[in-house]
């Protein structure tokens, strides 16, 4: 399974001992341009969401890159320049 930055993936705890969780939530994030892996529980995710909801004014704006779309003409005749 391949992971992507910013996607939450449920992973099973392969070395479960005692009373530990059966699964975790795996998140790849970027810190200063370097990827970091995070394993958190569902309760920790809930706590993080509550904190973000309470402090919305402190959150930075989210930048979502918008892919360029080809025109209708360009989609039909994309290989005609050869």
Please give the structure tokens belonging to residue 62: 């989210």
The answer to whether residues 22 and 11 touch, using CB atoms and an 8 Å cutoff, is: no
Nearby residues of 78 by Cβ (< 8 Å), 6 or more positions away: 70
**pLDDT score at 81:** 52
Q: Are 26 and 8 in contact (CB under 8 A)?
A: yes
pLDDT at 61: 85
Mean pLDDT by runs of 10 across the 82 residues of the chain is 78 88 90 89 94 92 76 68 50
Cβ-proximal residues to 30 (8 Å cutoff; 6+ apart), any chain: 5, 36
The HSE-up count of residue 6 (CA atoms within 13 Å, CB side) is 3
Identify the pLDDT of residue 79.
59
């Amino acid at each position: 399974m391949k992971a992507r930055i910013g996607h939450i993936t449920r992973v099973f705890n392969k070395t479960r001992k005692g009373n530990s969780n059966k699964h975790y939530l795996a998140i790849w994030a970027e810190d200063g341009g370097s990827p970091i892996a995070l394993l958190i529980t569902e309760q920790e995710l809930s706590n993080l969401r509550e904190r973000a909801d309470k402090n919305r004014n402190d959150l930075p704006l989210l930048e979502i890159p918008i892919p360029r779309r080809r025109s209708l003409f360009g989609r039909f005749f994309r290989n005609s320049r050869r």
